[in-house]
Each structure stands twice: as C-alpha cells, then as structure tokens.
Amino acid sequence: MSEPQNADKNREAVNLAEAQEESLRSQRAAAADQTSSPPAKPDPYLEIDEALTVWSSRERAFVEREAAAKVEREKFLRDFEELSKSVIKPTMESVIERLRRDGGDGAIEERRWDAFHTPRVILWMSLEGEISDKPGQDRNPFLQLDADVAHRQVNVWEGDMWERQGLSRVTSPWKLNEISPASVTERIAGILQRAAQNGLGG
C-alpha cells in the first residue's frame, strides 16, 4: 500500500476516534446535567387543590351534622307529641275534672307543630265558674308548655293571675324524661295555690 493511502486511512481512524470521544463527552455532560440540575418547581396549582379538598371536607361534615340534627329534631318532636298524648293532656284533663268538682273550670289549648310554630300545650284554669271563651294570661291561671326543639327541652310558663292580681313568669325548663303525672300535677297545684291568694284584697 502506498504512503498516501496509509495517510488517508490514518486520518480516517483519527477522525473516527475523535468523533467517538466527542460523543462520549456529550453523553457524560448530559448525564452530569441531569444529576446536578435543580429539582422541578412545585405545582403552582397544588394550593388550589388543597383549598377545594378542605372545602369539600367541611361541606361534607356540615351536611352530615345537619342530617344528624334533623333526625334528633324529628325524634324530639315525636317524643313530645307522644308524651302530650300519654302524660301531659291526660294529667291536665284530670285536673280539669277536679276543678269542676270544686266549682272551678279548665280548658286545654293545643298548638301543633308547623313551619312557623313549635308545639305548645296550655292548661287554662278558673278558680270559680266556667272558663271564658277566650282565656288570657291577664285573667286566668295557666300552665304553658312549649317544645323547644333547638335545645331539646320543654320551656315552662306559669301564670297565677286571678281577680286582676298575680303574675306570669318563665320557670325552670323540663327535659322530656322529667315530665310525669306527678311533676305536672305539682306545678299546677303550685299555680292554683298562688292564684288562690290573689284577689279579694290579697
């Protein structure tokens, strides 16, 4: 082989070696860039995801609480209605019978639950004679029981007005389990005893 041919082959070998070495250098540089490059920036929308997750969780908890509260309200109303039928009104009716036997009178006024009102039961009483068509707190002794759905209790109002004397006041509320024929009768007896001290000069 002639010297020019050998020289050409040598140059080709050198060029090939240089090309291979340059390729290796590029690969090593790329690998170095990958290992030394800073971490990717955090998702700028991650806080939006978190905010919506918090809201969704709170809304779900609120709905669950409202559902539980509705169940409790409905149960309280059912229990009060049953108690009215089985204890409150029968006890008041027994009191009215005794009042009439003793020359007085009584009447029961009932308000059922609706969208604007809570249940209420009132016993109006007269110490003497028939009760008027429209009894009132300024004329008649009374016991008023209001179902307080929000607090799951029965608010109690007592009035001992008679012969233009006496007063009305709210007294200690009852829990449903505190209402019995004995407790209702005791309250009514106290009202009548105070009313009997009113009028005719006190």
Strands 153-159 and 168-174, by their bridges, are: antiparallel
Percent of the chain topping pLDDT 90: 51
Q: Which distant-in-sequence residues (6+ apart) come within 8 Å of 103 by Cβ?
A: 128, 129
Mean pLDDT of the 3-9 span:
53
**E-state strands within the chain:** 105-111, 120-126, 142-148, 153-159, 168-174
Over 90: is that where the pLDDT of 160 sits?
yes
Return d(Cα 114, Cα 150) in angstroms, integer: 15
Q: Which distant-in-sequence residues (6+ apart) come within 8 Å of 151 by Cβ?
A: 173
Please, which pLDDT band fits residue 164 given cuts at 50, 70 and 90? confident
Higher pLDDT, 106 or 40: 106
Q: Against a cut of 0.75, is the pTM above it?
A: no
Round the average pLDDT of the chain to a whole number and report it.
85
pLDDT at residue 142, as a whole number: 97
Q: 147-151: long-range contacts (C-beta < 8 A, 24 or more apart)?
A: 147/76, 147/77, 147/80, 147/113, 147/118, 147/119, 147/120, 148/118, 148/173, 149/73, 149/76, 149/77, 149/118
Over 90: is that where the pLDDT of 145 sits?
yes
